[in-house]
Amino acid sequence: MRKYGWNSFKDLIFRNPAVVDQGPHVDDGDENTERGNWATKSEYILSTIGYAVGLGNIWRFPYLAYKNGGGAFLIPYFVMLVVTGIPLFFLESAFGQFCSQGPINVWSAVPILQGVGVAMVMVTLIVSIYYNVIIAYSLYYMFASFQSPLPWSGCFSWADSNCSSTPKVSCNVSGVLVTNWTQENSTCPSSDMVSVPLQSPSEQYWDRVALQRSSGLNETGPVVWHLALCLLLSSTLVAAALIRGIKSSGKVVYFTATFPYVVIVILLIRGVTLEGARDGIEFYIGAQSNLTKLTEAQVWKDAATQTFYSLSIGWGGVMTLASYNNFHNNVFKDSFIVTLTNAGTSVLAGFAIFSILGHMAQVYKMPVSEIVKEGFGLAFIAYPDALSKLPISPLWSILFFFMLLTVGLDSQFAGIEVITTCLLDAFPKVFKSKRAFLTVTTCAILYLLGLPCITQAGIYWVTLIDQFVASWVLLVLALLEIIGVCYIYGGNRFIKDIEMMLGKKSFTFWLWWRTCWFFISPCLIVNGIPTWMSIEENATLKKAAAAGREVESDQKLMFSLVHGFNVYFEVTSAVHYYLLGQVEMTDVTELFFNGP
């Protein structure tokens, strides 16, 4: 194809990296002297594992396993990991490593889909606010754990009359509930006894002390000062770790990416020695395994979405981290290491969680099914409650919330790196020598954007982000990513690019990956997109459904604007050069689909 002045205008919007003075994030030994590279391969592996292993591995996978047949759930989970998780992770990592660009500039290969990269960054920006708040929650609970007894271990001065560790039994006298009812030396007939469910101390502490939760989204209330301070500390920690980009965060992850495994193993060893631990483990993945669940479509759908979300595919982070690899790095082997480690972490965390929940059920003399909660309820209500029943409970609580802190920080590191990398790739002359300033400014802006999430109505906004932003939008982005790379850019062309990095591979080697990229993965993604009505069924979200639609509409608008701009620019430029006789119609067609 003939060369013509395409880049001159595009560079005004997304400048290609130019050769400028070496910035603080580039070392003399780096292969890529413009962007820098990971100092060692282990830094990339640990950073990617830390990014992939998120809070969902700890509080979502165990719940899904028990809900969908226990041990039987591992069958669809690992099937989905093989047919969609590993292939998509490999695709995204290879794409980022080959182009050595962030999630926006990388789509110069397929200009018509450059809006996909912008949408990825926008999603990451909003989710980074969410993760920052979760880190703040973890910091607050970790600091609160330096007390004995733990402040949520009983109904103290902050509690109301509904606080109780066990349900109160009342007598239904003429339709009126009376507690401790006696009359003429008689007791309440068993047929009239009613168990009144009350809030546990940990639940009231979460609502009344930690969050100071308001009645709804329309009652914002003031900023909760202790959470504001924890949010400030969270932003400071992230900014300090990323002050030199991957050069500094690569050193931090040696601790933050490995410490969670130490804590999980410690909690597992402690948990299995407790009375009732066996009941919890059997409930999670043992005797209650139900193979008949495998015939239900919802089980396979949950397995697919959990595999997808736990690997953080479609966020832009995998692509960004891989873009700092050396060109000939074996990204194929790295993809297997990260994905299998991520899956193993989910299973291992489930044992640690349910062994202690089983002990809690034994203490309360309740079935495990009534103890188990999902999401925030597991991390900040059920599990802290269980830890408060252990000897030396402050120690176990500190370890648990410090683990949540490190898991959240690893994910936040990658999220901020996505944002700053895109800015550095777009404006290298402006930001290359100001990496520290860019990082601190980004963290400061995210802190300000996070303040509404730590008001008394903040938990509703956090739930909105969790349910609406990080939901089926990511599946759509991943689907467009597959279409762009495999169908528009060209699957065979992409395979040749990978072979430039890894060396020549046989046709048999690529047969499986072609099958997954072209057929299996796209079909599963389309089938896995949840319906809008499933979100509306959540009573907590009904009050905020309209606000959720506005958040999602902003993403669609941003994608549409950038997409429309690219289409307009490509068509008008191509037609212009065609009319001048400088290109043929076949060149116009190639330009439109494959880029310059």
Q: How far apart are CA 66 and CA 59, in angstroms?
A: 12
**Residue 154: φ, ψ to 5°:** -155, 175
Helices (H), 178-316: 201-204, 225-241, 246-256, 259-272, 277-285, 297-310
Task: For residue 384, say if its preceding peptide bond is cis, omega within 30 degrees of 0.
Answer: no
Cα 565 to chain centroid, rounded: 30
**Residue 140: φ, ψ to 5°:** -60, -45
Is 37 assigned a ligand-binding role in the annotation? no
Tally of CA atoms within 13 A in the half-sphere of 367 that contains its CB: 4
**Residue 178: φ, ψ to 5°:** -125, 125
Q: How far apart are CA 172 and CA 283, in angstroms?
A: 34
Is 145 assigned a ligand-binding role in the annotation? no
Q: How far apart are CA 430 and CA 412, in angstroms?
A: 24
**Burial tier of 451 (Cβ tally within 10 Å: 0-12, 13-18, 19+):** middle
Is 57 assigned a ligand-binding role in the annotation? yes
Is 50 assigned a ligand-binding role in the annotation? yes
Is 330 assigned a ligand-binding role in the annotation? no
Whose tokens are 């919330």? That residue is: 401
What percent of the chain is helix, strand and coil (3-state, nearest 5)? 70, 5, 25
Q: Which regions of 40-98 does DSSP assign to beta strands (E)?
A: none
Supply 434's token pair.
């100001």
Supply 572's token pair.
């008008």
Is 52 assigned a ligand-binding role in the annotation? yes
**Burial tier of 382 (Cβ tally within 10 Å: 0-12, 13-18, 19+):** buried
Which residues are annotated binding-site positions for Na(+)?
Answer: 50, 52-53, 57, 310, 342, 410-411
Q: What are the binding residues? A: 50, 52-53, 57, 310, 342, 410-411
